[in-house]
Amino acid sequence: MVKIEKSNLILNSLGQLVESPNGITIKPVRAGKLIARMATSAADLDAAQALRYRVFYDEMNARPDLVTAQMQRDFDSFDNVSDHLLVVDESRTDIPGGVVGTYRLLLKNVAESKLGFYSSTEYDIRRLLAFDGQIMELGRSCVDCKNRNKPTMHLLWRAIAQYVFSNDVKVLFGCASLPGSDPTSLSTVLSYLHHFHLAPEEIRPIAVANRYVEMNLMDPKNINQRKALAEVPPLIKGYLRLGGFVGNGAVVDEQFNTTDVCVVVMTERVTEKYLRHYERAAHTKVGDK
């Protein structure tokens, strides 16, 4: 692992350390024409928001409001206080900035000094906030349909690993999405996650009372675990293979046409074996809030 140190270096594509808006520095990761780096400008953020719009709204049928539809950008107030990890494909001149992958990263100390966490709009995360150690929210992740492959995901996770280790992050968490807003049609997956991957009580998020959707919809004895796991979306399946858990209760998001669960990953459980499993899931649709 490359040692990461704080500095005032500005972004370039030659491999120097890159400073994020919140002062975190990582080394860009390159593979051929792909490079993973932090967003450091308004143009970078705009390109990430354009990618998110294409995946969430054009591809996954989220429901835009008037301004979102006119701008064709996915955005919210958390964008301006978060760091944004990008994968740029230098051969893609057909899309803004060549950005083909993105993740939004928000550290606890930054969140507490600004807007809090996005996840708290759906989940009671007080147990996570009380955790003794740095925690980080992962969100708004997506990959362009033409670059949904192992190299893109590999670069994203190599860069995330740098960010995690440079900030001594102990817990990763965030809202992850199942397609569709009818929980009954997702009863097998929701029940499987609830019975076999529920987070330890001391760090378990709980869906807020006015949005809480029961996940315990089936007797665990009636669940074929292998078949249920096959129905889990690739991104959530990847988190599970990283040793992840889910919170108690799901949340329906009508705007995004999804049913959300809160995923929690203890970074000490993350190994190279799990990362390789994660990458193999990347060939299918990847989009997450």
Fold of 18-288: Aminopeptidase (3.40.630)
> Can you tell me whether residue 124 is helix, strand or coil?
strand
**pLDDT value of residue 10:** 30
Cα–Cα dist 87/115, whole Å: 26
Percent of the chain with pLDDT over 70: 85
Lowest-confidence range among 1-5, 41-45, 119-123, 212-216?
A: 1-5
Tell whether the model's pLDDT for residue 76 goes beyond 60. yes
Burial class (CB in 10 A: 0-12, 13-18, 19+), 264: buried
**Euclidean distance between CA atoms 154 and 166, whole angstroms:** 18
The two most distant CA atoms of the chain are separated, in Å, by 56
At which residue do the structure tokens 């999804």 appear?
258
Tokens read off for 265 = 């990953």
Confidence label for 201 from pLDDT (cuts 50, 70 and 90) = very high
CA distances from 24 to 10, 115, 157, 220, 275 (A): 11, 19, 16, 44, 23
Contacts of 177 (CB under 8 A, 6+ apart): 233, 253, 256, 258, 259, 260, 287, 288, 289
Domain ranges in the chain are: 18-288
Tell whether pTM > 0.75: yes
Least confident segment among 37-46, 213-222, 246-255: 37-46
pLDDT-based confidence at residue 24 (cuts at 50, 70, 90): confident
At residue 266, φ and ψ (nearest 5 deg) are -85, 120
